[in-house]
Amino acid sequence: MLRRTLLVLTALTAWCSLRAQVLPNYALFDAKGKPLSHKRLLKLVDGADIVLFGELHNNPIAHWLQLELARHMATRGPLVLGAEMLEADDQATLDRYLRGGIDSKALDTLARLWKNHATDYAPLVDLAKEKGIPVIATNVPRRYARAVSTGGFAALDTLSAGQRTWVAPLPIAYDAALPGYVKMLGMMGDHASPTMAQAQALKDATMAHFIAQHATKGKHFLHINGSFHSDFQEGIGWYLQRFAPALERVTIATVAQSGLNQLQAESLGQADIILVVDEDVPGSY
């Protein structure tokens, strides 16, 4: 009996030692770089009408936290989900899936889903299906973004009345001097053209338009988008300030760092909440 007890204690000690060596893979900070608890994260989210969750598209920690937030928010009252990864002209197909009219294979066939939909976004959509949560396809159809990227906003002038229901109201307000658009063109170097930033603005404006259409006081709207679209309160946030200034917003940004103890200076102010992920965490694709 004594020998068995010693073996159990030895095993427990080894297990505890192993657990103690497990390193964290993410940390949370506020806009000023102050560490943020998970409890505080939930409190900030609960107080917002709109939550813009900026992700790194292939980051599994961000996708996990999105799902956790959606589950939490679904217990706190009416919830609407929205996503950059779903295009406005696929809304009818998406609604058929949510009602059970088609299966996931048909959704994948009929809608233009991202290549990582099955691993990274299907869990959110299926949670919504299970709980009867609306999901809004907020992004502009990509063919219109491509047209603006080469021909500028003038390329939208030929859209029919029906096609215009899939984009933000025309003409699109635009400030080419916004730091995010300037930075984007700078990163593209010699390949950049002003119309590329206009295409980005079209996406931001359209996502903000559909968010504003479905977000109201007393409801929570959780929107999933690339971090670039909401960093530093620009992009979607700039347009939401025009479309729905009375609604309270909280932004989340995702960044990758080599260490988790301190937020890097360049990320200060990037969002109300910054999710810092260890850069060694493997991507989902």
Tell me the pLDDT tens digit for each residue of 126-173. Answer: 999 999 999 999 999 999 999 999 999 999 999 999 999 999 999 999
R_g (Cα) of the chain, nearest Å: 21
pLDDT tens digit string along 189-198? 878 899 999 9
Q: Say how far apart CA 244 and CA 41 lie, in whole Å.
A: 23
- How many residues in total does the chain contain? 285
What rounded mean pLDDT belongs to the chain?
Answer: 93
Closest CA to 205 of 235, 166, 182, 250: 235
The Cβ of residue 172 has, within 10 Å, a number of other Cβ atoms equal to: 18
CA angle 258, 260, 265 (to 5 degrees): 80
CATH assignment of 25-278, among 2.60.90.10, 3.40.50.11550, 3.10.105.10, 3.20.20.70: 3.40.50.11550
CA distances 164 to 139, 141, 161, 210, 212, Å, are 13, 11, 5, 13, 16
Handedness of CA 277, 279, 282, 285 (dihedral sign): positive
CA separation (Å) from 271 to 30, 91, 100, 173, 182?
A: 8, 29, 37, 23, 19
pLDDT tens digits in sequence order for the chain, 285 residues long: 444 444 433 444 443 444 445 678 999 999 999 999 999 999 999 999 999 999 999 999 999 999 999 999 999 999 999 999 999 999 999 999 999 999 999 999 999 999 999 999 999 999 999 999 999 999 999 999 999 999 999 999 999 999 999 999 999 999 999 999 999 999 888 788 999 999 999 999 999 999 999 999 989 999 999 999 999 999 999 999 999 999 999 999 999 999 999 999 999 999 999 999 999 999 988
User: Parallel, antiparallel, or unpaired for β 249-257 and 273-278?
Assistant: parallel
Closest by CA to 272, choosing from 27, 28, 24, is 28
Helix (H, G, I), strand (E, B) or coil at 52: strand
- Name the residue among 225, 220, 212 with its Cα closest to residue 66: 225
Cα separation, 62 vs 26, whole angstroms: 9
Quick check: 263 and 273 in contact, CB under 8 A? no
pLDDT for position 21: 55
Q: For 47, which DSSP code?
A: T
Strand ranges (E), 117-186: 135-139
Measured torsion, CA atoms of residues 12, 15, 17, 23, in degrees rounded to the nearest 10: -150
The helix/strand count (H/E) of the chain reads as 10, 7
